[in-house]
A and B are shown apart, each in its own frame.
Chain A
């Protein structure tokens, strides 16, 4: 009984492992938003203060006509009004993010009010979590429409990050089409944060642009390529680095070359590499785990539930679809069976069998009470006989033999 009580105890603190991105992601967005505010304010400050000083000096020394002074002031006013508009829209954005965060905190907070894993409320909470995990998985796999629809039907739009992933997906698709523009734009928007990243996404994108120019084999394009390399590649990287040398070496090869590493450079696979790199960098920046949360939850869950019986050649007596008193084990169910095949099974240190087990002449073990109960309910069995619910064989009640399982 004591073991039963501990096994249904709910420890919310450790239960939230899967839910970190739920709060982390909007927070990263809020911080990014804040940095943008900081940047635009700084930019206007750098402009307005010197401009004002200059205007004052100019009018002190009478080098400006009044009209010029007024024009300078007008320019400053216009810039400040632009700043105000920008700040207003950023503040709106911020409000949106924080209201969403609020709802997410409330959702997690609800878990703290649930006393045990056996509570109906836990069941409901866990179903919402599953829906969240499903939406996350769909978004990551690029099934945005399904994700959106599911989120709407389950009313969990504030608990999932549709916009973030949709944007990410758009860039990925553009890379699949062989376009670098959107990815580079994204790099520009996140310049500050990217400096800390260990991946050099921008360099790889610029390199790809260079490769595309060289690919044409058109002499004028090659000149462009060299200029491009000077402007973007060398400035980013140590000019003696291997990448730069290789890029330079590429100029003398055509795209059907078999020489490595140039063959890889020209290969279309490189676009796949870029889109993977983009996803990796994007997720890292927003504190998103690299694999779908559903995978994490499932691989833990499949193992925790799996027993050696789930992929056994013999039908299990304790869990099968042949009898109404046993329910089908989720791992044995068609949906997950194949998926769980490669997973390790759960560790148990104690046997766990039905109360008062008996064995039938065919070797099948059942709880005595359950077997008698089933036999009573199955119409076609005479009294004094029992029917094996798994094999359908009928035995005499006296043939039931007590079995000791420790």
Chain B
């Protein structure tokens, strides 16, 4: 990369000091002055013109010289690029399954834009998609017979699901409204209202979002509606916070008794909260970001969506995985082997831990990953192996667990879910 940068620096410098145009101007000057001489004294024409030959030729040569220099610079830069990307061609395009599923990709993109709050871009994108579809139809209709056109128009009706439904769009719009209120105005009320409307669903998930929001609201009121804690005196809004607590916290009492007690206990330290055991609750600089993240996660989960944009995670994981996959491709090409396991990648790709979402079960006997067809089975001793391995080991009779002295029968094993 350093080399690329250095060569490009040179290229830029050369561009700035380029003499080409000056040389052209010099030629023009030569011609002009000759013209003037001849115009003043026509008798000089022959002499002037003869004298002019070599200088003009010379100035053309110097134009070419400066061009050559530029050319050299460009070539050097090309070489530095080649070096940077050496042995790293883009993966071959042989099996591009994705291009057949253009509409699914477009749907994913539209959802991604909505998630990111890019509502106007998303709107443009969707209208351009439907526009393109419309023109495709008008293009196709004259050539295709009427019989073929009917199923097509039916399928286009069904294709509507390839764009996110208006409901999803509305949901994301309201999510963005809530988030922007939270982040820009420090206004938690819309979020609290949302969490109340969805209290049942949230409680079923074991989520304490509503309480987290109300607690932050309490802290915020206590600090006098500002982020930074005020000094060691009783803030003006101590009473506002207490009034809020009296009004709201009773609903949380059975579940969050301890937490509410902490908040109330903290009030006793009031002028000197900094020194109290509760100061962490009140001086948490990342509290707002944490709550915003928490809210986003809960909101998306209720829609059955992942919290971070799947498109972002997948594209990033792809960039991380590509070097390994490319290496694999070159090795396979060199050894002229084909990759035979159609359902599974032939190499392990190490992604950062935050990219692991599911538990993974690899059968310790067969070293194969469990699937629906070959699920993990737990023997009475508590050890787990894949069903196929189990069948092979037991052969229908009692057998010893490969990991402990326990003996059991095939029918004692139970399917487990990870």
Contacts and interface: CB of A to CB of B under 8 A. Distances in A.
Contacts of B325: 300
A41 interface: yes
Contacts of A108: 1
A405 B384 contact: yes
Contact of B301 (A305, A321, A406): A321
Interface in A302-335: 302-305, 307-310, 312-319, 321-325, 327-335
Nearest to A322: B205
Contact of A60 (B18, B50, B109): B50
Contacts of A55: 49
Given A322-B204, A342-B97, A353 B359 contact: yes
A73 B38 contact: yes
Interface stretch (A46-54, A181-189, A195-203, A237-245): A46-54
A351 B77 CA distance: 47
B345 A346 contact: yes
B374 to A, nearest CB: 9
A23 B74 CA distance: 13
A342 B381 CA distance: 37
A248 interface: no
Contacts of B298: 324
Given A77-B28, A345-B345, A404-B403, A70 B139 contact: no
B326 to A, nearest CB: 7
Contacts of A392: 204
A267 B84 CA distance: 46
B319 A18 contact: yes
A313 B372 contact: yes
B50 A102 contact: no
B364 to A, nearest CB: 4
A13 B87 CA distance: 11
A227 interface: no
Contact of B305 (A74, A91, A300, A333): A333
A22 B210 CA distance: 46
Interface string B51-92: 011001100100110010011001001100100110010110
A290 interface: yes
A109 B343 CA distance: 37
A190 interface: no
A302 B416 contact: no
Interface string B324-359: 011000000000000001111111111111111111
A335 B120 CA distance: 20
B353 A4 contact: yes
A83 interface: yes
Contacts of A159: none
A88 interface: yes
A219 interface: no
A368 interface: no
Interface in B253-285: 254-255
A316 B64 CA distance: 70
A134 interface: yes
Interface string B87-109: 01011010011110110111111
Nearest to B90: A289
B406 to A, nearest CB: 11
Contacts of B243: none
Contact of A299 (B63, B98, B306): B98
Contact of B349 (A48, A94, A329, A346): A346
Interface residues of A, number: 153
B221 interface: no
B187 interface: no
A50 to B, nearest CB: 11
Contacts of A64: 45
A34 interface: yes
A64 B120 CA distance: 70
A337 B206 CA distance: 26
Contact of B304 (A88, A323, A328): A328
B139 A176 contact: yes
Interface in A380-403: 380, 387, 389-390, 392, 401-403
B67 A66 contact: no
Nearest to A348: B360
A116 to B, nearest CB: 8
A23 B81 contact: yes
Interface stretch (B123-131, B149-157, B226-234, B390-398): B123-131
Interface in A354-398: 354, 359, 363-365, 374-375, 377-380, 387, 389-390, 392
Contacts of B418: 309, 316-318, 353, 365
Contacts of B12: 98, 102
Interface centre among B60, B81, B102, B121 (most CB of A within 10 A): B121
B39 interface: yes
B317 interface: yes
A37 B67 contact: yes
Nearest to A387: B206
B362 A364 contact: no
Contacts of B25: 84
A167 interface: no
B186 interface: no
Interface in A76-129: 76-77, 80-81, 83-84, 87-88, 91, 94-95, 98, 101-102, 105, 108-109, 112, 117-118, 126-127, 129
A329 B357 contact: yes
A291 interface: yes
A130 B344 contact: no
B418 to A, nearest CB: 5
B189 interface: no
Contacts of B39: 70
A66 B96 CA distance: 72
A231 interface: no
Given A84-B21, A310-B358, A401-B382, A327 B323 contact: no
Contact of A335 (B112, B204, B206, B354): B112
A308 B360 CA distance: 9
Contact of A17 (B46, B297, B322): B322
A387 B205 CA distance: 11
A224 interface: no
Contacts of A160: none
Contact of A49 (B60, B91, B97, B323): B60
A329 B358 contact: yes
Contacts of B358: 307, 309-310, 316, 318-319, 329
B178 interface: no
30 contacts: A4-B353, A14-B322, A23-B81, A27-B74, A27-B81, A52-B52, A91-B20, A117-B352, A126-B315, A130-B316, A143-B129, A297-B319, A298-B105, A304-B318, A307-B357, A314-B417, A316-B418, A322-B204, A324-B206, A328-B307, A333-B305, A344-B344, A346-B345, A347-B346, A348-B360, A351-B362, A354-B359, A377-B208, A380-B203, A392-B204
6 closest Cβ pairs, A-B complex: A301-B318, A330-B310, A329-B357, A66-B42, A297-B318, A301-B314
Given A322-B205, A330-B357, 18 more contacts: A49-B60, A59-B45, A118-B352, A129-B315, A134-B112, A137-B109, A141-B132, A145-B128, A149-B120, A268-B143, A289-B90, A289-B93, A299-B97, A321-B301, A329-B357, A345-B344, A349-B348, A406-B384
